[in-house]
Structure 1
Amino acid sequence: MAQYFIIHAENPQARLIQQAAQLIQQGGVVACPTDSSYALVCSMQYKDAQTRIRRLRGVDDEHPFTLICRDLAEIGTYAKVNNSQFRLLKALTPGAYTFLLEASREVPRRLQHPKRSTIGLRVPGHIVVQALLEALDMPLLSMTLQLPQDELPMSVGWEIRETLEHQVDAVIDSDIVHVGATTILDLTQDPPELVRAGVAPWPK
Structure 2
Amino acid sequence: MAAHTSLATHDAMTTLDIPSKFDVTHWPANVEKYLHQTEKPLHRAILKNYLRHLLLEVSGYWDQIIVPELTIDDPQYRVGDRGTVLVLNGKAEVENFYRETYESRVNVMGARTMNMCVEDYGVTTEAYWTHVVPGTFLHDHDIDAEPNAHYLMNYYIFQMFAYTSDAKLIGERIYVDPVSYTYEKLAPEDVVTPEQARAELAPFLARATLD
> TM-score normalised by the shorter chain: which range applies?
under 0.3
Higher normalized strand content (fraction of residues): 2
With structure 1 as the length reference, what TM-score do the two structures score? 0.28
